[in-house]
Structure 1
Amino acid sequence: MAGTTDDASADVVADAAARLYAVPLADFVASRKSLAAEVKAAAGAPAAKAVLALRKPTLTAWAMNLVPRGDSAALAELVGLGARMRAAQSRLDTAALTSVRGERDAALTAYVAAVVAAAEDEGGTLSASAREEVRASAIAALADETAADALASGQLTRSLSYSGFGEVDLSGAVGVTSSGSIVSVLRGGGQGDAVAPGGDGGAAGGGGTDDEDGKDGEDGEDELTPEELARAVAEAKAAKAAARVRERERREADAELAAAQDVMSRAQASLDAAEQAARTARRAVVDAQTRLDAARSTVADLGPAGG
């Protein structure tokens, strides 16, 4: 039935989002309005509102979205390397992490180059600061699996960043989930808020679109229905509860990691001491052999006893 937010309408929104994030950046707003009209006719007003709520990507995000749709070898290498690095980190395998340092640098460089080339092919130019945003997004993808999925989605709305601990904040960073729902907070979202389909990543119950584009809704479609508002509040509460659980799990994991690192440090200190003792022993053996050889030489020079 038109106007319901069932699986069929979610698929329609997802398809519209995939088409929308593939258009030239300058055509985004006009294409969004056109697609919303198509979706409204096919799936009803709530689905059209969800399309209107899709955020226009920044120039950097638009450039990164080009890569999954073109030559994505550099992206595939980055995603694969990230999976290997995270697995090594979970095992506390410092040797493996150290061994891929050069590969990591090469993968980051290759991904940035791929994004720059894709943008230039479409007539775009990335400044030095934009290239840094691309590199920061790639680093986030290496650190966090969901960030890697976001990078590969082709529907980024902004660049990503990794603070060095915890998960990557993906709030408002991706257009839609695979189910077609507007993404406000994915795993690792920093604010703990959630928005029902049709939200834009602001506070629960919000329904705006891009700040620079003004209000694109029409016929009151920017207003949430009571049912949508209730669902948004419930999702927000659930997200906050999940965030508290993740924070507790993170603290426990940090404590376990600190304990493991302490054990590794003590083991390394013991190994260093053992290696130093071995070096000292080897020098003592060499010195003793030298003295023995000298004594033998002296005896040989003296000749046979009584000679």
Structure 2
Amino acid sequence: MTDLEAAARELYALAPEEFVAARTRLVREARATKDRALATEIGALRKPTRTAWLVNALARDDPDAVDALIGLGDELRTAQEARDGAALRALSARRRTAIDALVRRAAALGEEAGQPPTEATTNEVAQTLQAALGDPGVATQVREGRLAGAAVYGGFGGPSEDAAGTSDGGDLAALLAASMPGAKGGGKGGAEQERDDAEEQARREAEERRAALEQARDEARTALDDAQDAADRATEAADAAAEELDRLRDALSRAEDAEREARAAARAARDEVRARRAEADEAERALRDAE
């Protein structure tokens, strides 16, 4: 019997357009074995977006490369806590190289599957891989190849991150900037520093707006998937009801035929009784006449 892990492995290896039909089949199979809990769990698995499908394909195609990228997250956090600018720059370069290579491989996998990704999709793949470096939950889903939607990088620092993407540990991008030659305190004039600060603030605000738009998009996609799931379940229930109605109609038709046959047999039996009674009466009269 299929369990949840096996069902998830099968479903998330499929192209998104094949997901719903396969999930419906697995739900039916679970229901056929009277395992309603499993059917509910399988039915709750979310259809992956095109971006998530590509990231899942990467995890299956080259798990070692994905693990190596995610492993950089621990090194980056350690360097961030130590305020080690040189290490941050070196690790950042390794991160960019690894992500670029994985994004190229994701695009190739899409091409091989007959689903070449758009530029927007490859950008989302890069952002999701970046998010896996700092979010253990995203990292687990990426490693397992069970990602359902794109993720957005919000900076290292864990749950203390605020709306601006900073944390008690400091934003990685800010630390990298501070560690670069000519950063604040390294010789820039006041006007130039103010201009840089304004540009940094504008960049942060743009990132916040982008993150909000991406979240709204993902929520809309999730709502669409949920609506599609509900429609699939409603269609399945309607099909089952129609099958039951057809079965009952067939049974009723057979019962009506049997009733007609039984009534015809009863009429024939009564006619036979009357005929035999008439014969008996005739014989009785003949006997009396003979006597």
Q: TM-score, normalised by structure 1?
A: 0.51
Give the match for residue 216 of structure 1: 232
Match of residue 81, structure 1, among 72, 79, 83: 72
Match of residue 109, structure 2, among 118, 129, 140: 118
Give the match for residue 96 of structure 1: 87
Q: How does 1:146-165 map to 2 (within 5 A)?
A: 146-164=137-155
Equivalent pair of 1:52/1:217 in contact (CA under 8 Å): no
What's the offset of the Cα at 1:134?
0.6
What's the offset of the Cα at 1:17?
1.4
What SS is found at the alignment partner of 1:216? helix
Equivalent pair of 2:56/2:147 in contact (CA under 8 Å): yes
What's the offset of the Cα at 1:66?
0.7
Verify: 1:45 aligned to 2:36, yes or no.
Answer: yes
Q: Residue 66 of structure 2 aligns to which amino acid in structure 1?
A: L
Of the structure 1 ranges 27-36 and 90-99, higher mean CA displacement relative to structure 2 is found in 90-99
Equivalent pair of 1:13/1:39 in contact (CA under 8 Å): no
Unaligned segments of structure 1, at least 5 residues = 1-8, 169-200, 221-307
What's the offset of the Cα at 1:96?
1.7
Q: Give CA deviations for 1:15-69 in whole Å, capped at 9, x if unaligned.
A: 2112111123221111011111122234612221221221111111111111121
CA RMSD of aligned residues (A): 2.9
What's the offset of the Cα at 1:120?
1.5
* CA 1:55–1:17: 2 relative to 1, 3 Å: same
Q: Give CA deviations for 1:46-105 in whole Å, capped at 9, x if unaligned.
A: 221221221111111111111121133431321122222123223443332122222111
* CA 1:43–1:68: 2 relative to 1, 3 Å: farther
Unaligned segments of structure 2, at least 5 residues = 160-218, 238-291
Aligned equivalents of 2:118, 2:224: Cα separation in 1: 29
Aligned equivalents of 2:20, 2:33: Cα separation in 1: 20
Structure having the higher Rg: 2
What SS is found at the alignment partner of 1:217? helix
Match of residue 134, structure 1, among 125, 132, 150: 125
Equivalent pair of 1:57/1:158 in contact (CA under 8 Å): yes
Q: TM-score, normalised by structure 2?
A: 0.53
Equivalent pair of 1:64/1:154 in contact (CA under 8 Å): yes
Q: Residue 131 of structure 1 aligns to which amino acid in structure 2?
A: T
Q: How does 1:200-211 map to 2 (within 5 A)?
A: 210-211=226-227
Equivalent pair of 1:36/1:48 in contact (CA under 8 Å): yes
What SS is found at the alignment partner of 2:116? coil
Higher helix share: 2
